Chain A
Amino acid sequence: MSLESLTYATASELSSALHTGKISAVELTEACLNAIATHNSEVNAVITLCEDAAIAEAKAADLQLHNGSAGPLTGVPLLHKDIFCTRNVPTTCASKMLRNFIPPYDATVVSRLRTAGTVMLGKTNMDEFAMGSSTETSVFGVTRNPWDLNCVPGGSSGGAAAAVAAGFAPLSTGTDTGGSIRQPASLCGITGLKPTYGRVSRLGIIAFASSLDQAGPMTRTVEDAALMLQAMSGIDAGDSTSADLEVPDFSAGLNQPVAGLRIGVPKEYFNHNLDEQVAKKIHEALDELVKEGAELVDIELPHTEQGIATYYIIAPAEASTNLSRYDGVRFGHRCENPENLNDLYERSRSEGFGEEVQRRILVGTYALSAGFYDAYFKKAQQVRRLISEDFKKAFEHCDVIAGPAAPGTAFPLGAKSDDPLAMYLEDIYTLSVNLAGLPGLSVPAGLINGMPVGLQLIGRAFDETTLLRMGHRFQLRTKHHLARPTMAGANQ
């Protein structure tokens, strides 16, 4: 295996090569660091690099591989979205507010993946506080899509998606509050899984909207997503919303057939909001699953359109509460020469938060304020239940729901920056899944004019196994996930 091809291998292939001694973890880590050094100046996916620590972790992994104590992810490099707290490593949420924040502890996801033997290369760029769909609101500048450097990678986990697509690492963590794993996965041509709410601990993930946030794997294949989810999942005493459920063996069922499974196709996902060429690609993808023996069923999700309004009340309301902790006192940005305590609060927050974050704090504060709570927040929580009931009714007729992950392919940088409402529409097919707390998977489904399209599969709560099985069968049958951007192709 050449050093160059290492950076495009899957984690499963790399694990095999590491365990059979064909490569060492140090060689693999150096290959990834080299890819980042070569191309990150163009893509800007990685904002913190941990070269020395990564080599040290790789050496430790090589020892485990030699003494027989290695697991399936031992020695496999990965990147963390910069929303996960990493002990003694800057964790900024891509915000001026946390530009100098160095956490004294690891997020549970970070510690679990560390225990699994992965090698942390660094941290990836994102929309500030995960609020965005294009990775253009970062204080570190925009991330560019490896498939077309003039286009966005999606967001908010855009750095993570671009990094995997560009061959910087086979694995990256992401978080998904309204589509922030699946939409960038779709736009960058990689595999992204948002697990069921509660499947993965949120301890140490900088909070955006606590009833919606969930961490998940961003990888090249579904097989790798299963491996990574296994290491991330499970109850955590530090997160009282983590589910007290046994974690299934996600890899064990991957090779089971999908014949007889019913795929629900919601008509509301194929209306005027969806690009016609994307619709064609999604139907072609569904045809492939039919050839595997799956059955298509027409279903309805009647409150899909209202998902946006519901989300843009609940998420900002929860965000306004969560972000009230940034007051310039205990940690985070503090303004210069405050005149009094109120001046310290107001100027620290206004200087530290970007425009989109402040906009959402305002909307959230308004929705929770006396006199407007019932009309906005309570109303949104009621419609949230209707959306959840829609899914429950739909799953009486199907095992998986399928549709697009995003309404189009990647759009040019700056195209939607001045129109927040147009940006919000990017998540129309993903955010209802967060409101209902369900798992969602995006897998590459082909290219349109050289740009990737993602097929989204939505499952019942805590049934990631069926999603992964269907996604894996799709990737065994099609080769869309093997396509690589030309920019990274120069790296081969």
Chain B
Amino acid sequence: MFGQTVWLVLRKDFTIEVRSLEIAYTTLFFAISCVLVFAFALVQEGRAPEGGAAGILWIAIAFAGTLALGRTFERERQAETLRALLLAPAARPAVYVGKLLGIVVLLLAAELVLVPLVALLFQAPLFAHPVWLASILLTGTIGFAAVGTLFAAMLVRARSRDVLLPVLLYPITVPVIIAGVRATGALLQPEVDAGVLQVWLALLVCFDVVFVTLALWTFEPLMTD
């Protein structure tokens, strides 16, 4: 039952998205613009700064993620469908998980383009350890999206929601950004220290577990009028 609701919410979002690809295209273009802005700001005399690639990658993910989060729920608000979604005889946490998975898949798709772009523009050996990189990106994206999906859903009914989403989201997701940047940075070193990577990855997994649990627990009271 729970899994079925999750699947239905996810499929609904994808069907709508595939028709226009509005969020996918705008998020992707925005992420690429972000990387270019950093390239113009940081590259001097044709040389990229040492170790800047990890930070730039994660800033682009965070910024593009905020944009995607805002847009996903704006669509629900414009069509007045969030109320219908919440009125449906389905478990509220399942609705949350469906939305969360949609955002995670969208962001992972954006990362598929971002990672090669950053690797190319900043001469970073990001593909040297693909499994490590994939696990860092996956756990980091889930952590960021877990908090973001809950906050974006909560803010649907609030005034000045566009401004408030980043204001609330960034202070809370700081550990994800720190851990993501540090882990990716460790990956870019000539000699990869597996111990350091494991510590950061463990922190990301813990963050994911705690915040997904907390979101599932608070989604119900938060979405009730």
- Physical interaction between A and B: no
User: Could you list which residues of chain A lie within 8 angstroms of chain B, going by C-beta atoms?
Assistant: none
